[in-house]
Amino acid sequence: MIPVELGVVLRPGNSMSTPVTDNPFAVLTLIAAPAVFTNASSVLALGTGNRLARVVDRTRQLTNQLRDPASQNTSETEMDLRHINHLEQRANRLVRAMGFFYTAIGSFAAASLISIFGAVLAVQPSKVPFEVIGGLSFIAGAIGFVGLVIGCSLLVGETRLALRSLSEEAELVKSWFKRP
């Protein structure tokens, strides 16, 4: 791997440095990495939207079930009320995760655009130093990465809430079929 240091590529075994503009792969790497993260964030945002839709569907189902006077099993009603609370918490986490994923998408897209802008300026005799452009790209990418990590953490918490509700439902159903 050839290390990139603020606008120059250090060649192994050689103390001489080469400007990034002489190495198209260095510029391509600066642009491709945020693009890959943008795609990952987009896929996670799409999946999170689907999960949110499932939470909404389940909430409506439980609400209709609780309204029905024919289904007034006390243990089931108490469990359904707890599940409504869990679904509300899950929905809040999913909406927050989507916000972080959308922030990540925008930040990674900005990092890619700034990198392209920097690559264009690198071949021009400009007054904007490469370090400034690289720093801005790094900051945008770092914001995107933090958004991606926080969004994923929120999804893990939401999944745990879903599993807690599922376990509770399974225990209730098992209790119905226990023999004396």
pLDDT tens digits for range 98-140: 999 999 999 999 998 888 888 777 777 767 777 788 889 899 9
Task: Look at 68 and 164; give whichever has higher pLDDT.
Answer: 164
Could you give the percent of the chain with pLDDT greater than 70? 80
Task: Give the tokens for residue 179.
Answer: 């023999």
Print the SS3 string covering 122-180.
HCCCCCCCHHHHHHHHHHHHHHHHHHHHHHHHHHHHHHHHHHHHHHHHHHHHHHHCCCC
Mean pLDDT of 147-162: 96
Task: Give the tokens for residue 2.
Answer: 């050839």
Task: Give the tokens for residue 68.
Answer: 């029905």
Per-domain residue ranges of the chain: 24-176
CA–CA dist 101, 107 (Å, integer): 10
pTM to 2 decimals? 0.77
Task: Look at residue 20 and tell me whether its pLDDT is greater than 90.
Answer: no
Q: Classify burial at 98, counting beta carbons within 10 Å of its beta carbon; exposed 0-12, middle 13-18, buried 19 or more.
A: buried
Mean pLDDT of 34-56: 93
Q: Classify burial at 173, counting beta carbons within 10 Å of its beta carbon; exposed 0-12, middle 13-18, buried 19 or more.
A: exposed
Sheet holding 8-10, edge to edge: 4-5, 8-10, 17-19
pLDDT averaged over the chain? 83
